[in-house]
Amino acid sequence: MYCFEKTKPIAIGCDHAGYDCKEELISFLEGEGLHCEDYGTFGKDSVDYPDFAHPVANAVESGVSAFGILLCGSANGVAIAANKHAGIRAAICWGEELAELARKHNNANIICIPARFISSGDAEKMLDVFMNTAFEGGRHQNRVLKIPV
């Protein structure tokens, strides 16, 4: 049971370090019958992660995309860039439990994956958990509402 609007595309982007994993995640998602909007990068040449994090964040923030996926070597750069957007809650995840908590407790709308530190199989598992976990609300809702400045 997916916890997002399946009629909207999933925004995905990466820098050069995340390229291979991004391509594998797109294949995984398309195999699930889901549509991805790929914001690049489209190769392994060195690029600047904000050039891809901002378009993904814009797509999620504007409601064009259901949620976002960002990848870079550590996931720190893309998370920092994406979290500059007021409507974004980008969470760095390196395991299934973190992906679950990012959704349950933080209502994260972008999952940030450290491509140099996890396998593509683990990325698929985290993504599956992220997509199938609902925000709990309750006491967490008040905390999420305090995030924007």
pTM reported for the whole predicted model: 0.97
**Annotation says 140 is catalytic:** no
Q: How many CB atoms lie within 10 A of CB 38?
A: 17
In a domain, 5, yes or no: no
In a domain, 2, yes or no: no
Q: Of these residues, 21, 72, 93, 112, which one is catalytic?
A: 72
Contact 121, 26 (CB under 8 A): no
In a domain, 129, yes or no: yes
- The confidence score (pLDDT) of residue 2 equals 86
In a domain, 137, yes or no: yes
Contact 130, 99 (CB under 8 A): yes
Residue-wise pLDDT tens for the chain (149 aa)? 688 999 999 999 999 999 999 999 999 999 999 999 999 999 999 999 999 999 999 999 999 999 999 999 999 999 999 999 999 999 999 999 999 999 999 999 999 999 999 999 999 999 999 999 999 999 999 999 999 87
Alpha helices of 19-119 — where are they, by DSSP H? Answer: 19-31, 50-61, 76-82, 96-106
Looking at residue 83, its amino acid is: N
Range of the domain at 118: 10-145
In a domain, 3, yes or no: no
In a domain, 4, yes or no: no
- Looking up residue 26, the CATH number of its domain turns out to be 3.40.1400.10
Look at the chain and report how many structural domains it folds into. Answer: 1
In a domain, 95, yes or no: yes
**Annotation says 36 is catalytic:** no
In a domain, 120, yes or no: yes
- Rounded Cα gap, residues 75 and 4, in angstroms: 23
